Amino acid sequence: MPTRSSTPSSSQSRCPDVNMDPDARIQVSLAPLRSLQGAARGLSFLPRQPSASVLNGRHASRLRGRGLNFEEMRDYLPGDDIRSIDWKATARTGSPHVRVFTEERDRPALLVVDQRMSMFFGSQLNMKSVTAAEAAAIAAFRVLDAGDRVGGIVFDNDSQVEFVPKRSRRTAYALLESIVEKNVALHADRPAAPAPGELNKVLNGVARIAHHDHLVLVFSDFDGIDEKTQRHLSGIAAHNDVVLFLVYDPISERIEPGERAVIGDSRMQAEIDLGSGSIREAVSDFTRGRLEKIHRWQNEINLSVLPLSAGEETLPQIRRLMGSLAPTRRVR
């Protein structure tokens, strides 16, 4: 189990025996993810957010909500909203005309779930990969409950699996199965095989599926971002609503002198000595710089960034972020 220890010896850390079954904080399974279906009720990723939601205020103004489809042009009738008058048609015909719109029946959502090796890290509670998986499951069920279509892209260091949004519980379950498949493949001895532009390739897939009026939710630590990443996101956000769930570990916020990080899974463990000032400073500068860059995107791109800590239970965080007043219960 991933943990963080201030003691100099790994034998004193709170790591489980290597012969123990995999901990749910390290790897996810399908049943617990499907059990989050009931917990998703009462949450919203769309406009008209509860006052306690971090998407309220300036964030909410960025969310389009359901789109409107033009239906017809007709004569003005008593009781019509004068704001719907088409003044060009009125001037051309000499009589008041209004444009009639109908609200789109559903709003497709695309969930982008990161299960790369960079997500296989945790210092207190969950691996970041577990937190992302749980948050994505909650979002998938909430979208379905709202009557909208849900799809997604699940990716690791080697490949990505795409699901075109459908109003289908079978599609949601297939999405969760793909998340579990890539999650359980993460192990401490698995080569990271980092490749430049991994996230950018995934965003290309997002742009190919979400042409316009989609809700795009990205669950990632955004490892390997660059200027192209910002351009990709800017292009996607120009025609869709984009919310970035920035999954981070508490160790990125503050690293104490003399601290050691013990990471691993049920088979292998490794210890990182953070006692060295240079190592501690390098790790802090790197993680802090990435977090600051992503948060700046809120002012530079038409999107929202929500922090999601792997050091806390996932469901209470989602409820807090989305302003839900529903009673909380443990994720597992």
In a 10 Å sphere around its CB, with 0-12 CB exposed, 13-18 middle and 19+ buried, how is residue 298 labelled?
middle
Q: What was the pLDDT predicted at 319?
A: 86
Say whether both 44 and 85 belong to one domain: no
Average pLDDT over residues 296-317: 90
Q: Return d(Cα 76, Cα 85) in angstroms, integer.
A: 7
Percentage of the chain beyond pLDDT 90 is: 42
Query: What is the end-to-end Cα distance of the chain in Å, rounded?
Result: 16
Q: What is the DSSP letter of 18?
A: T
Find the CATH number of the domain harbouring 256.
Answer: 3.40.50.410
Domain count, the chain: 2
Does the structure show a pLDDT above 60 at 19? no
Q: Which two tokens mark 163?
A: 């699901």
Which among 46-50, 182-186, 262-266 has the top mean pLDDT? 182-186
Q: What was the pLDDT predicted at 66?
A: 54
Say whether both 86 and 155 belong to one domain: no
Say whether both 85 and 234 belong to one domain: no
Q: What was the pLDDT predicted at 43?
A: 76
Query: How many helices (H) and strands (E) in the chain?
Result: 8, 11
Contact assessment for residue 112 and residue 152, using Cβ atoms and an 8 Å cutoff: yes
Average pLDDT over residues 304-327: 80
Q: What was the pLDDT predicted at 38?
A: 86
Q: What is the pLDDT of residues 209-258, one digit of tens each?
A: 999 889 999 999 999 898 999 999 999 999 999 999 999 998 776 655 55
Say whether both 111 and 97 belong to one domain: no
Percentage of the chain beyond pLDDT 70 is: 67
The mean pLDDT of the chain is 77
Q: What was the pLDDT predicted at 254?
A: 60
Q: What is the pLDDT of residues 62-119, one digit of tens each?
A: 455 555 666 678 898 888 888 889 999 999 999 999 988 765 556 799 999 999 999 9
- Using pLDDT thresholds of 50, 70 and 90, give the confidence band for residue 284: low
Contact assessment for residue 261 and residue 251, using Cβ atoms and an 8 Å cutoff: yes
Average pLDDT over residues 143-165: 93
Q: What's this model's pTM, rounded to 2 decimal places?
A: 0.72
Does residue 227 fall inside a structural domain? yes
Torsion of CA 312, 317, 320, 322, to 10 degrees: 170
Note the maximum CA span of the chain.
Answer: 87
Say whether both 79 and 143 belong to one domain: no
Range of 82's domain?
Answer: 68-103
* Backbone φ and ψ of 158, nearest 5°: -105, -35
Q: What was the pLDDT predicted at 271?
A: 57
Say whether both 230 and 265 belong to one domain: yes
The CA distances from residue 31 to 24, 318, 331, in Å, are 11, 20, 12
